[in-house]
Amino acid sequence: AQRVTQPEKLLSVFKGAPVELKCNYSYSGSPELFWYVQYSRQRLQLLLRHISRESIKGFTADLNKGETSFHLKKPFAQEEDSAMYYCALSAYGAQKLVFGQGTRLTINP
C-alpha cells in the first residue's frame, strides 16, 4: 500500500529563518514524489517534483530512499511562502496521486 505522512499539521517560522516541511512515504516500488502548494484562495498547484531535481521559489526537496523521505526545504523563508503544503506520491507509471494530510506553513514577519 502507498502512504504519505506529513507529521506536522502546523508549522510556524519567522521570516528569514530556514524552513523544513517533513514528508515520509511508504511504498515498496519506485515512487514519484511531488510537493503541491495551495496559497490562500488559490487552487492546488505543483511546486516541485523529485525527478526534475529543480529549485522552485527557493525550495528544494531531495528524495532519500533509505529513509523513505522527501522533505521540503528553504534556507530563508519569506512571508509569501505562507500556504498549505501537500506531499504526494505516485507509483511509477501510474497517474494516481496519494497525498499526505498537509502542513500549514505560516511565516511570521
Partner 1 sequence: ETGVTQSPTHLIKTRGQQVTLRCSSQSGHNTVSWYQQALGQGPQFIFQYYREEENGRGNFPPRFSGLQFPNYSSELNVNALELDDSALYLCASSLAEESQNIQYFGAGTRLSVL
Q: Phi and psi at residue 105, in whole multiples of 5°?
A: -100, 125
CA distances from 57 to 10, 17, 74, 89, 90 (A): 21, 15, 9, 21, 23
Residue 10 contacts partner 1 per CB under 8 A: no
Cα–Cα dist 39/65, whole Å:
29
Shortest Cβ distance from residue 1 to partner 1 (Å)? 10
Q: Binding pattern to partner 1, positions 32-51, x when CB under 8 A? A: x---x------xxxx--x-x
- Residue with Cβ nearer partner 1 (61 or 88): 88
Q: Does 90 bind partner 1 (CB under 8 A)?
A: yes
Residue 52 backbone phi and psi in degrees, to 5 = -90, -15
- Tell me: does residue 78 bind partner 1 (CB under 8 A): no
Applying CB under 8 A, the residues found at the interface with partner 1 are 4, 6, 9, 32, 36, 43-46, 49, 51-52, 86, 88, 90, 94-102
